[in-house]
Amino acid sequence: MQIPRINIEKSDLITLFRIYRKTIAYCLIAVVVYSIVDKAANNFATKPVIVASKDIAAGTILEKSDLKEARIPISAIAPNPLTQDQLIGRMLASNIAETEQLSNTRVLATAEKITDQRVVGVRIIDSEVASILKPGSLVDVVRISNSNGVLGGVIARDVSVVAIASKKSSFGASAGSVVMVSTNNDNAVNLAINSGEKLTVLLH
C-alpha cells in the first residue's frame, strides 16, 4: 500500500497560523500563568519540621522539651533537616532562637548522648587560628611557655569546639579570641585553671 504524499506549502502554514493564532496565544498565556501559579504554590506550601521551642544556648544537650514541630514554607527549609529522635541527646553547636529550624549543621556530629560534659571558654592568642575553627571541630588545647618559667604542653586533648566568640581583644591578658569548647569535667577544670595563660590549639 502506498502512503499518499502530502505537500504542505509555506503559504499553507501561514494561513493555518492566521486561523489559529488566537488559540496559540491563549495556550502560551496558559503555560505562563500555570508556571507562575505553580511557583507561587511552592513558595506558600509548608512542611512540618523540628524547630527550637525556646531560645537555647550553644553547648546545650538537646532534650524533648527543647524541641517542637512547626510548619514552615518549603522554600525556607534548611538542608539536612533532622527528626526529633535524631536531635535528642545531641549538643547544640551555636546559639539558636525560638522557632529556628534545627538542622544537621546546628548540632555536633556525634549522634550519641554526651555525658559528663562541660562547656568552657578558651582564649586563643592567635585569632587567625581561631577564625578557621568551626562548631564541631576537634582540637587539642596547648599552653605556650611564658616568661615566668611555666612550661608549655598539651593541657586538654580531643575537645569539641561549640562556638566562636564574635568579638576579639588585642590588649594584654585579654588578647586573642574566645572559643567555647565542650569536654569532660576534668579537662574543663584544667582549662579553667589555665585560662589566664597563653593558649593555642592543634587541629585534628
pLDDT tens track for 55-107: 988 778 888 999 999 988 887 888 778 889 888 888 777 778 898 888 877 77
What are the chain's domains? 46-106 (3.90.1210.10), 117-203 (no CATH)
Whether 95 and 163 have beta carbons less than 8 Å apart is answered as: yes
- Measure the CA–CA gap between 168 and 174, rounded to whole angstroms: 8
71 phi and psi angles, rounded to 5 deg: -95, 125
148 phi and psi angles, rounded to 5 deg: -85, 5
* Residue 141 in grid coordinates: 588545647
What's the pLDDT score for residue 173? 45
* Residue 149 in grid coordinates: 618559667
Average pLDDT over residues 157-184: 71
pLDDT at 109 exceeding the cut of 70 = no
Average pLDDT, whole number, for the chain? 77
